[in-house]
Amino acid sequence: MSKKLKVVALLAGTLIVNGAALAEESFGGWLINFDRTKEVKPVTDKRYLKECGECHFAYQPGLLPARSWEKLLNADALKNHFGDNAEFDKDTLQAIHDYAVENAADKSFYKRSRKIALATAEGEAPLRITEVRYIKRKHKDIPEKIVKGNKDVKSLSNCNKCHTQADKGVFDNDTVSIPNYPDWDN
């Protein structure tokens, strides 16, 4: 067996053994999916999409590490979910929790999720996506008046207001359109 083939086999075996590819449905699916190197995995769970998307943009689990989702998605935390009561019945909470944790940034092969995982590897687990160092850096040059002062955006937490393909997990600059500021160049 050639040295290169051994390295590839060892890498594939490590991924399978560690189960990391499971967050992307299957190792084979991950291996042939060339989009895996981009962005974040879109939300595929209907219950998560419905329950979370009822009140706000249903953030992709790949935007936070598993330890953040663990803190956010428990019965006590949901009693005061950023000022609102977002409690679920036990089965719904378990399903949403499991989906978010299994698809978190640190369990994903998507490029942007990996960057988020690295940015959140140390220190306190962020509770807000807007607290992630990587996200802050990506938005640092955007003037406050374009976000907070914009009646159609109001906050960086409203990702889908400017990222026109946010629901698909696409957050690249080519898909940004800031309401009321069509000529702003990011």
Each residue's pLDDT tens digit, 61-94: 999 999 999 999 999 999 999 999 999 999 999 9
* Distance between CA atoms of residues 36 and 29, nearest Å: 10
Q: What percent of the chain has pLDDT over 90?
A: 74
pLDDT of residue 23: 44
Q: How many domains does the chain have?
A: 1
Cβ(148)–Cβ(154) under 8 Å? yes
* Distance between CA atoms of residues 37 and 42, nearest Å: 13
Confirm whether 111 is domain-assigned: yes
- Higher pLDDT: 139 or 5? It is 139
Tokens in use for 137? Answer: 């850096």
Confirm whether 88 is domain-assigned: yes
Confirm whether 186 is domain-assigned: no
pLDDT 10s digits, 99-133: 999 999 999 989 999 999 999 999 999 999 999 99
pLDDT 10s digits, 147-174: 999 999 999 999 999 999 999 999 998 9
Cβ(167)–Cβ(41) under 8 Å? no
Confirm whether 2 is domain-assigned: no
Confirm whether 41 is domain-assigned: no
Which are the contacts of 45, defined by CB distance < 8 A and separation ≥ 6? 95, 96, 99
pLDDT of residue 183: 82
